A and B are shown apart, each in its own frame.
Chain A
Amino acid sequence: MAIYKRGYRTYSGPLTRERWRFLVLTRYAWRTIFQSRLLTAFFVFSFFYPLGALLAIYLNGNATILSLLHQSSELLVVGNKFFSVFIAVQGTFAFFIAAFIGPGLVAPDLANGALPLYLGRPFSRADYVLGKMMVLFGLLSFVTWLPGLLLFAAQAGVAGHGWIWDNLWLARAIFLGSLIWILILSLLALALSAWVKWKVAAAALMLGIFFLGAGFGQAINLILRTKQGTLTDIGNLMRVVWHDLFRIERHAFDFPPTEAWIMLILICCGCLALLAKKLRPHEVVR
């Protein structure tokens, strides 16, 4: 049959609902990501600490085992410090996972001119960013607040009646603290990836921002005899925020949590501005 006689028919099959279309990107990205054996191994490794913590909670609440160990009281106090350490450890794993995956989410699309292919369809820039962010949100949730809440539930089960209502604020701190960290990591990873358009450099930049930021902060503090230098240290900002959420006493050299919150909001705004500038369906070639 001649081509001109064939005609074209529009696609009439089922479509993903517009509201959830961004998840298409997420789904495909996850499939690609777990092809890396190194990442899969690291991801599995990141569950060791929660498993250890779960075991500790179980042992701690088991009177028979405690009596076998000749312990009259609990081995450890499962409270705000326990969960703040948990979030700090899992947050470190989350950082490395984000540094490994995040830079590869946007940079290849920009480097290969694939953005017009996405945005030439009924798919907005917000959908694109949301779809890519959900890749990290999903993975990092499994490392941070999901096991955190699981531990909280386990402790509630072990400790018995009343504990859960007295410590419900801890669940909020685990969830909120993780959520903020995930948001910061995701936005930073995507923004850097969009900025340098080279995933290796973006990953280096991600590491650099955290490591150099920490060092730079200490250097400012030493040279200028101040406490504000560590405002450049994102890890430290998060530590201050976590301590605030988990109601842990501040160190003498810490700055007020309000300053940390403001800095984190500024970082998020900066990342969003960078994404808005770089994620465009056209590019001016100089």
Chain B
Amino acid sequence: MTTTQISQALAVFRLEWKKSFFARRGLWIYLLALMPIVLYGGHSIIQIKIGRPCDFGMDTTIFATVFQVFYLRLLVFFGCVGIFMNLFRGEVLDRSLHFYFLAPVRREIVLAGKFAAGLTAAIAVFCTSTIMQFAALYAHFDSSLMREYLFHNNGLAHLGSYVAVTALACLGYGSVFAAAGIRYRNPIIPAAVIVVWEAANGFLPAVLQKFSIIYYLKSLCPLEISPDVPKFLELLVVNPEPMAPFLAVTGVLAMSLLLLLAGSWRLQRTEINYAAE
């Protein structure tokens, strides 16, 4: 990349980050990120009111379960649908994509700048949510117990893993939906197909499992899920052959890169035809 191209990517980023963070259209994404915080906060308030904390281990397992089943698969997933599909589809709807296409910038640079802006927003929103969920869940426990967990029982490492997995999920799903947003006029159909594909991951043959983001993310989650969950949820998250973390991270990175390359290839062939929308 030349210096000019870097400054161009930064210029795209500057134009886009505000849209990703502050667009009225994206308000619901904040609500998605807030949902589990409210639930955990509510749980802590109830426990404080009744005057006795829950079983620490059980809460930790519940966090692991909700994180895998609900947070990653649904909230981060749909949040990424909103943020990343909007990168190009939103411009087409606003009929303003041609301004980018008429600037002396390679289209892959536009994609890089836009993707970086979307990723920054997604990571900021969802990683912050992960940290706040963690804080809200354990708010009703005694501070000495918390210190013990955080500094002597891998609590911080767990939190770090959850944040890293969230960031990787944003990257993985982000690249899926950025590419889908370039390719498809109606992104809902691919989103529906992908949500079913990701949900069915546990039931797929081993080779096909590798073509999903959740396959790699499952291996990076630090704790097993709660045994109390309904059977069908257990089937969703079961991971009979966990991968080494290094391989899992590499897997997500490689898949994202491939998807972005495919998106870039498609973007170079994209024509402006707002009338078709």
Contact = CB atoms under 8 A, between A and B. Distances in A.
B70 A219 contact: yes
B191 A204 contact: yes
Which residue of A201, A218, A220 has the most chain B CB atoms within 10 A of its CB atom?
A218
Contacts of B192: 96, 99, 207
Given A204-B191, A207-B188, A222 B78 contact: no
B46 A215 contact: no
Interface string B28-39: 000010011001
Contacts, number: 67
Say what secondary structure dominates the interface of chain A: helix
Interface string A31-43: 0000000100000
A203 interface: yes
Interface string A187-211: 0000000000010110110011001
Contact of A224 (B42, B73, B78, B230): B42
Interface residues of A, number: 21
A203 B78 CA distance: 13
A110 to B, nearest CB: 15
B73 A215 contact: yes
A223 B70 CA distance: 12
B20 to A, nearest CB: 16
B21 to A, nearest CB: 19
A201 B89 CA distance: 11
Contacts of A207: 188, 191-192, 195
Contacts of A218: 69-70, 229-230, 233
Interface of A: 38, 96, 99, 198, 200-201, 203-204, 207-208, 211-212, 215-216, 218-220, 222-224, 253
Closest 9 CB pairs of A and B: A215-B74, A203-B188, A219-B70, A215-B70, A223-B39, A219-B66, A223-B43, A222-B62, A204-B188
6 contacts: A211-B195, A212-B74, A215-B69, A215-B73, A218-B233, A220-B39
